Amino acid sequence: MARELQIREALREAMNEEMRTDDRIILIGEEVAEYNGAYKVSQGMLDEFGEKRIIDTPIAELGFAGIAVGAAMNGLRPIVEFMTFNFSLVAIDQVINSAAKMNSMSGGQFTCDMVFRGPTGSAGQLGAQHSQNFENWYANTPGLKVAVLSNAYNAKGLLKSAIRDKDPVIFMESEQMYGFKHEVPEEEYLIPLGQANIQKSGQDVTIVSFGKMMRVCEQAVKALEEKGINAELIDLQTVRPIDYETVANSIRKTNRCVVVEEAWPLASISSEISYMMSQMVFDHLDAPIKRVTTRDVPLPYAITLVDAFLPNVDRVVQAVDSVMYV
């Protein structure tokens, strides 16, 4: 039976369920305990699990990320919450040079079974230093897995899989989406890392996206239907590993593709998808693949410029028109 949960509630339920069955799991980060989480994701968890498992930290990302890596090497399964992934740059040495490489460099003697989670991307007028997307940065690193939620259903299913995974997982959320509600089953379920979801079937064009941009794409699909264009919409769900085959199979059917991403265009996930599809299904493409990304500048503060910076429905529809009518 399904019920509607906010994304924050789905994330909390995933952590609670896993922590009840595995006492090695801890949650560590700024304001996760006494304040119930900066976005109230961890509300009530301190009361249930206590201060040895729900651990408030100083404002010191490098320090508590390093503590968590050491804890993972010694058998615990930490969940590290960054208040925003912009702040993960302070801790990136521990993520990239320790967590991601420990299994390989130790010849399998040490693993880092852990999750780094928190919001990514723009959340309105927060300025250039608090509005960046790092999915492609972390996806570039062997040893890491990277998941990006788009709704409450995959928030819970992906996070449970991430917590159980043997590799360190980067788990990316959105400040603007924590209050959004979607149907979530009461019964146990997992969503495998590396498995895309065909959110809507169609035969005219393939639209590929992930994370918060799925909402933009959903609106664009409805606008395209009014123009008589039946789009297939794919949610990647994880960007390392990427489910290339699901995208390729869709393009074999539609013969056209648009990739939508909230990130700068150079060396992006959309760049990777475009390249791989040119290798896998080149003969099936009736038009060049188009990308819709953020503008290639630091995010401005003015709201009019924020709107111009981000992908939107009109830009997605225009990109689809450009591949439909060539």
**Spatial CB neighbours of 321, under 8 Å, sequence gap ≥ 6:** none
Residue 218 has pLDDT above 70, yes or no: yes
Tell me the C-alpha distance between 230 and 210, whole Å: 19
Using omega within 30 degrees of 0 as the cis cutoff, is the peptide bond preceding 241 cis?
yes
Domains, the chain, ordered by start: 2-185 (3.40.50.970), 197-324 (3.40.50.920)
pLDDT value of position 75: 95
Is residue 18 very low, low, confident or very high in pLDDT (cuts 50, 70, 90)? Answer: very high
Residue 36's SS3 state is coil
- Contact 124/176 with Cβ under 8 angstroms? yes
Q: Which residues of 277-296 are buried (b: 16+ CB within 10 A; e: fewer)?
A: beebbeebbeeebbbbbbee
The pLDDT tens digits of the residues spanning 256-286 come to: 999 999 999 999 999 999 999 999 999 999 9
Q: Is 237's pLDDT higher than 90?
A: yes
Look up 61 and say whether it is catalytic: yes
Identify the pLDDT of residue 200: 97
pLDDT of residue 326: 65
Residue 325's pLDDT is what? Answer: 78
CA 296 – CA 173 distance, rounded (Å): 22
Both tokens of residue 223? 């606008």
Question: pLDDT tens, 142-177?
Answer: 999 999 999 999 999 999 999 999 999 999 999 999
pTM: 0.95
Determine the pLDDT at residue 188: 95
- Mean pLDDT, rounded, of the chain: 96
Active-site residue identified among 18, 130, 261, 272: 130
Question: Rounded distance, CA 28 to CA 80, Å?
Answer: 5
**What is the spatial distance between Cα 251 and Cα 173, in angstroms, rounded to a whole number?**
28
Strand partners, 185: 2
Q: Average pLDDT, stretch 236-244?
A: 98
Instruction: Label residue 67 exposed, middle or buried (CB < 10 Å: 0-12, 13-18, 19+).
Output: middle
* Predicted confidence band of residue 131 (pLDDT cuts 50, 70, 90): confident
Question: Residue for token digits 């038009």?
Answer: 287
Selecting among 13, 18, 61, 81, the annotated active-site residue is 61
Phi, psi dihedral angles at 201 (to 5 degrees): -85, 150
- Per the annotation, the verdict on 31 as an active-site residue is no
Q: For residue 257, give the nearest of 234, 239, 225 by alpha carbon.
A: 234
pLDDT greater than 70 at residue 46:
yes
